[in-house]
Chain A
């Protein structure tokens, strides 16, 4: 629903832009230029493009970094530096933020061209050929400052020469330019006086935190000046840029870095140094299980500037068990610079990152199997999804994957070792119905309720053709129970006939087999289709004519399905029942056993089954009270 409101508000904002730009038209056949309502643009940026006013710090840092990069291109010996200072206001006057760089600076012409033309960026024209060195490119960054101030004052002097220039821009769209006579070193200084309602965004701790957050990987020192104190907020090198005396030092540094950035005690990590792809950073393994469809959030830096902490399109869909921190020179930011553009560079990065994780896990199986098992124990489902797609991975890592079976949790490798044939069922409920009985007969049935498990098992089967992997249905399993001898079957014919007529109204058929445990008198099994049909019957009982008709059309008319009530010949109660010779008693007992089996399986009773239960209990009560004689 939010999308609706956002889109509508955006349309309104766009509409107001058009309305505000309309001038009285009195001169026919003349060309007119669009006018831009700066306030509406700022509203659009702050409410729809950027995630919040704090991004003004990122935009200022970005301009400063790009300016120092431009100067370094002119003079390779130049050492760039960015200073940030917050000057507290006096007597109720709001504080002022100063950000200063010793970069390229701007000439008066460049000021008019770039600062006063929305969408125009100095990084597009003069330095087009070196665009790869710059982070910004849209020419809207400086406007973000109007989210926290009503006036931007910029003093700049170009490294190419010329006087210092002062530019003052206001949020109403007006600006002034003045040539200064005082001496200034080349570079740019931006002054922002906070708006009263945005004072929090210019407080020193906030500015420090944001500068450190956005600029931690920037190649230019960012120095925060507080009174006489100078403190570089991005002094610490990321772990992949450092050298270590021992492997454990390196491990500790990476894991600490991950914790600092993401607040998670990660299980393991993979350092990334893919120079040819312009990628560096680390992949961290989460210490807890993650749902395969959970949101992914990864830290993405582009050329050192933090782009987002929540990139959900960076990694392959199966890689939910990792968090990634990468710095890329190839990925392209969107206009908001808070997301990555879906292009070939992103596709390539996604592929490389996926391959890095896959290769690392394959390597672990040789070099550190304990750690691999630790990772698998937590992330089996996600790893399964990779194994289901990749033969080598399936063969090497797949055998460690654990499966729930009727004989307990077992790895695929163990299953392969101990059983000639691997059998699985695909439904949780199917497994629940059969597990106890299968275990009593030492039958190993895998619970492959997740489609990935079934898919992996099939791939595994293709890799090891000597060992069949088979999906079995619950009906096949009950059919595999030992048959009752023909003579006994004959003796039981009457009971089976009675049970069949008793159970027919509730779409169930009886059978007689020998199975363990002997304490279990009956086993109720229903296929997935039958279970859904039960739900449809339940809904139909309460539905209107229209919907009742629809449910009948889809679920009953086409193909009525039957459940099975398998009577256990090994069970003492069933044995006694075979000897009663009374159809009436047999009918009541079958009714009770049927309902009992349903209740044990947590099936809600429908109207027909409630009638069956009432009938059974009343009948049994009458027998007990002697109102009726057996056989009546």
Chain B
């Protein structure tokens, strides 16, 4: 193994520290750093560079890049524990995130995901941590696999375990509880629990843009429209144009539809649709399409000839004749159902297709293509 002259790496690390919320530029730089370290067979630098790449890739919404780098680090850690033992805590910390993000890819089977959680749990126990983190991850995964009953069980188990250094910060954990409540449709409890986070009384390392976005519609439904409006105005500029927050952008879009501000909702769609097309995270894309269907469902009925500003070349690639809202609705429905079917088959349920059927019951009864009926009716 080469002795590393890692001054270049140190400089890169320093530049990353400057950028507390790194963007695509940093991602390219760290990918370059990994290649450079690999090409010079410098194992330590290659490991260190991948560690940073993980953080940057997560910030940039590139789950797939983060997972590849993490898998390599985990393998090297297992092969040469003596070389990387100092990194145990951070490796396990990143493992938490990695294990929870696997369900974003429908290609990864349920069995593979559960096996990974077993592996994480074992490693955490061996390192002397309580089972809180493992159960936290199991709860999260159960939610993303749409197994709400199982999630409820893990949720209870999680909160019974003592906190330790591996636990997420109290604000993040509280945010996770809010998300659980939202998934279980207990919106008023979720709003209540989220109050300290919304008002900034409980802070965390990352601003909770995603959490705030997911609370916008519940706030409106609870009659707290002014609060929702304030949070929308305050947080939307911070998530706009960012791949990582494509899911949150969808929540803002859904909020605007709920407020009947279809023009703004359309602007949010047009701004983020190119990102939804390019996101490597199929779960994010599915979520954004689902939110967008709320908008296009409305436009299709009331303003079907609304012209949508689409990325260059999109119409030809998608095989759509015109950029009208009604055409987009049909295309989005097809794409959503295709994704929903893949996720449902992997998850072993019909959650997403059922959701689509419920949300579009009236619309499907109208003059809809037979293809959509078939896709939407594929529920087991």
Contact = CB atoms under 8 A, between A and B. Distances in A.
Given A343-B230, A450-B25, A317 B238 contact: yes
B24 A546 contact: no
Which 5 A/B pairs are nearest by Cβ-Cβ distance?
Answer: A604-B38, A542-B75, A539-B72, A4-B169, A293-B19
A603 B204 CA distance: 39
Contacts of B108: 550, 553-554
Contact of B112 (A292, A536, A550): A550
Contacts of A11: 170
B36 A293 contact: no
A621 interface: no
A470 B312 CA distance: 9
A94 B20 CA distance: 43
A347 B233 contact: yes
A604 B39 CA distance: 5
B152 interface: no
A517 interface: no
Contacts of A316: 237
B360 interface: no
Interface string B223-252: 000000010011001100100000000000
B282 to A, nearest CB: 10
Given A553-B105, A558-B107, A7 B169 contact: yes
Given A549-B112, A553-B105, A602 B35 contact: yes
A1 B71 CA distance: 24
Given A451-B241, A461-B312, A603-B35, A553 B109 contact: yes
Given A449-B24, A544-B75, A604-B39, 15 more contacts: A8-B170, A293-B19, A293-B20, A450-B25, A451-B24, A538-B72, A539-B68, A539-B72, A539-B75, A546-B116, A553-B107, A553-B109, A554-B64, A554-B67, A554-B108
B35 A554 contact: no
B18 interface: yes
A593 B64 CA distance: 31
Nearest to B231: A342
A374 B102 CA distance: 47
Contacts of A547: 71, 74-75, 116
A291 interface: yes
A526 to B, nearest CB: 12
A471 B34 CA distance: 27
Interface string A429-457: 10000000000000000000111000100
Contacts of B76: 542
Given A8-B170, A540-B71, A3 B64 contact: no
Given A347-B233, A554-B108, A543 B75 contact: yes
A551 B71 contact: yes
B150 interface: no
B20 A295 contact: yes
28 contacts: A3-B171, A291-B15, A291-B18, A292-B25, A293-B21, A294-B18, A294-B20, A295-B20, A342-B230, A342-B234, A343-B230, A429-B32, A451-B24, A451-B241, A461-B312, A535-B69, A539-B72, A542-B79, A543-B71, A544-B74, A550-B108, A553-B107, A554-B105, A554-B107, A555-B68, A602-B39, A603-B39, A604-B39
B248 to A, nearest CB: 15
B233 to A, nearest CB: 6
Interface string A327-357: 0000000000000001110010000000000
Nearest to A316: B237
A294 B170 contact: no
B78 A544 contact: yes
A174 B363 CA distance: 71
Nearest to B275: A451
B156 interface: no
B64 A344 contact: no
Given A3-B204, A451-B24, A553 B68 contact: no
Interface in B12-63: 15, 18-26, 28, 31-32, 34-36, 38-39, 41
A428 interface: yes
B65 interface: yes
A284 to B, nearest CB: 19
A368 B230 CA distance: 39
Interface string A528-571: 00001001101110111011011101110110000000000000
A532 B65 contact: yes
B202 interface: yes
Nearest to B72: A539
A458 interface: yes
B368 interface: no
A554 B72 CA distance: 15
A538 B69 CA distance: 10
A557 B241 contact: no
B119 interface: yes
Contacts of A347: 233-234
B203 interface: yes
Given A293-B19, A293-B21, A546-B119, A532 B234 contact: no
Contacts of B65: 532, 535
A7 B20 CA distance: 21
Contacts of B79: 542
Given A343-B230, A347-B234, A554-B107, A546 B115 contact: yes
Interface string B195-234: 0000010111100000000000000000000000010011
Given A539-B71, A546-B112, A550-B116, A557 B107 contact: yes
A292 B68 CA distance: 27
Nearest to A312: B20
Interface string B163-202: 0000101110000000000000000000000000000101
A486 B106 CA distance: 45
Contacts of A471: 312
Nearest to B109: A553
Nearest to B23: A293
Nearest to A558: B107
Contacts of B34: 535
Contacts of B35: 602-604
Contacts of A7: 169-171, 202-203
A589 to B, nearest CB: 23
A427 B75 contact: no
A458 B312 contact: yes
Contacts of B67: 550-551, 554
Interface in A378-399: 381
Interface string A285-325: 00000011111000000000000000000001100000000
A1 B165 CA distance: 9
Interface in A456-504: 458, 461, 470-471
Nearest to A598: B39
A546 B233 CA distance: 44
B240 to A, nearest CB: 8
Contacts of B78: 544
Nearest to B25: A450
Contacts of B230: 342-344
Contacts of B171: 3, 7
A538 B37 CA distance: 14
Interface in A6-33: 7-8, 11
Given A3-B205, A603-B39, A550 B312 contact: no
Interface in B61-98: 64-65, 67-69, 71-72, 74-76, 78-79
A547 B102 CA distance: 11
Contact of A542 (B28, B72, B312): B72
A339 B56 CA distance: 28
A292 B74 contact: no
A544 B115 CA distance: 12
Nearest to A455: B241
Contacts of A293: 19-23, 26
Interface in B288-346: 311-312
